[in-house]
Structure 1
Amino acid sequence: MLGAGTVAQALARHAIRQGHEVVLSNSRGPASLTPLVRELGPLAGAATPAEAAAADLVVLAVGWPRVPEVAAALPRLDGTVVVDATNQFASLSPNPRIADLGDLTGSEYVASLLPGARVVKAFNALFAQYIAADPHHAAGRQVLFLAGDDPDAKRTVERLAGSFGFAPVDLGPLREGGRLIQLGGPLSGLHVLKQD
């Protein structure tokens, strides 16, 4: 986990429940995460962002203004599946503002900062409380929209999200699919269920 905020913690809890080891990181250093790691249990650990990025799958869950700085501090992630859970909020309060990326989607921009990584956009379109909650509901499972340019990477994320209980829906490439779920897209903040 690159980041240790609400979204990163929610995904860490889902992963730990499925028996995965999780390494969290933040800008303040591993020692600052000791209470959280203790709370999460023996499958959780803390490290620097560069060390956390050595995992089999990496989740980018930091505030948008920090994305370039975090990316610049990482080694090359050749072949690594990176789940981009960010949203391009240039500022949050008092007046939320979306970063102007020109013609690029947020995840295309993230991918440009992480050459060699296999970026999959996911978990950004759901409000944090829907990520943290049990994805199983009486009426069905919480839909998780995702997009990416690498089919194998998308399948990896689909399997992982499915094991958490989500119902993954592949929207296609980062450009077209990512545009649907980024801030301002028609599927951003849309919380729907899939009947089983």
Structure 2
Amino acid sequence: MMEGIHAPSGRMRATTILCVRVGEDVAMAGDGQVTMGDTVIKAKATKLRTMREGRILAGFAGGVADALTLFEKFEAQLERHPRNLARAAVELAKEWRSDRYLRRLEALLAVADRETSLLIAGTGEVIEPDDGILALGSGGPYALAAARALALRTDLPAAEVARQALEVAAGICVYTNDEITVLELPAHEGHENR
């Protein structure tokens, strides 16, 4: 069984997104590099966002315009299924796979709330990692390996595991830089998930 998730990068060579869950800590990190072919055209892009008043983290790998379209579609699914991240993700994947226009979008999404971390792909996959760690993009395999090692061998919180793992990926992958953004879910307050 897979203990972490890395989505194949295909032509999506412009990013690394990593979601880490350590105990009750949940964080997502992304680098800032955007490339066209072999040329870096932006170093400080933001590929992460929060949704549902900060209760959901989301990140993307792939085309920016494609990802923004998918974020809008995902937010619409969250409106329909506000207390069920997995259901919203499955409904997005179904729509993405069946809609002729959406099928052409080249992006992958990572989403996480307090209970669940998911990778969503246009081929219909909605995958939850067994160990709470998932990675997208060109530097994904390096970040995933580093995050697994850090999570197993240290007592670092999720945000620090994510940051350090992305630093490792940036040192290896030419499509990943060290302009790292880290977002965390707020401290656990009761068990609210709206």
Normalised by the shorter chain, which TM-score bucket?
under 0.3
Higher relative contact order (CA 8 A, sep 6+): 2
- In the superposition, the TM-score normalised over structure 1's length comes to 0.24
- In the superposition, the TM-score normalised over structure 2's length comes to 0.24
Q: Going by fraction, where is strand more abundant, 1 or 2?
A: 2
